[in-house]
Structure 1
């Protein structure tokens, strides 16, 4: 096994979920070699054309990567790995939510616009333009051990609190056997950026306990209203200290250079990059 390649244990865990090759057509390139080439490319952040020849044609690697990204193969891999961990009792349902900014390389620009052609790059490929240039924001929920449960991509100029519900709804861990997928955490931890009445009401309606500190302006506004301001929300400092697991999760994900800087033009390709990195964190 070379640097940045899948170990035997990782390949054994992932090979079960790859689509069958079929029998018609030319002989198919070995799936393990192709997947090793994809992982090498994403870990190093290299261009597809610069992937070493030992992994075969770069066109084959890119075609297989795009096919598996578009047909949901990588997403199904992540869900099945999570399902097995959940069945073994290995998921901590004390969930932390946060986001991180990823600077987009100039090669990430220029993707073909789809749908609304009004120039809204955020709606097309999760790219947002700000004073720092193009960027993407990864909104993520991780379990109590710092492993991604679900994530949402937006432009880098998107406010965190506007995607809170979408992040929680991206959590979908199937059951091994009968039963609906698990979508509801036991407890949610988030920072002051998620402190809003709408988010707290959403969590109460779903019966999810939460630890979210109030912003200073919210505290002052509540005090100025006197009795009409109501009581402050319950806040447990000891529980809030556990929020650092999501920061550690981002730190581990950004060891992948193809994730720490976005080179992909399309939303689907970059989403597949984050998904592959998440899968290997779980394994």
Structure 2
């Protein structure tokens, strides 16, 4: 039987460190991830869900917070360094000067705000400029007889040789009644810019672990391509791009009101949440 286009990542590949025995001769592979997007779209909520399994309804604007977490994915242990950045416009000059050295970027928008999706263009443009700088570094390394994949040792902007991975996350997918950005529109925006795509809910813990597993897999693949000598960013994006979805959730009543969902789960309805119901399974993994 063919797999469902919205099939969830196998949970055995998303193991938490407390359930693992790490061989001493296999140190964790470091991956740095910067989380960016407009203010109030849920960047901190996504980060804290992953790191502490916590969620809060209080909005406290972030200037910049750093976290680290270990995950074992596809048989390998990874040390994820996460930077949760400011989304407010007054802090964007600071963002551009200090957050472009990451291996991957998670661009977060709020599905109830079209403006938050449009705001991602600012970050995407900066990331693409950083990608071009890294490709230039890779070409110089190649001419010097150094494998670009192995020369990717710097930690800051301008010192790396592997272009960063970009994943777009449409957050707050539990707020179907207030949706302004359809899943199809979010996916189209992401694909046009060479990004992977997910919809998430930090509140109901939908696609949090899966999104970061996707990021790790894309970073690993991009590093592998760099070691093979693939230096074209367009080709890298094409090889790692989200596959087309058939079918996508439609802009219909079925998308706006999920089966079993009575508002944003405020009335204690336990039928809706992680691992529950056909609708949420469809949101699992794009």
TM-score range, shorter chain: under 0.3
Give TM-score, length-normalised by structure 2: 0.26
Larger relative helix fraction = 1
Larger Rg over CA atoms:
1
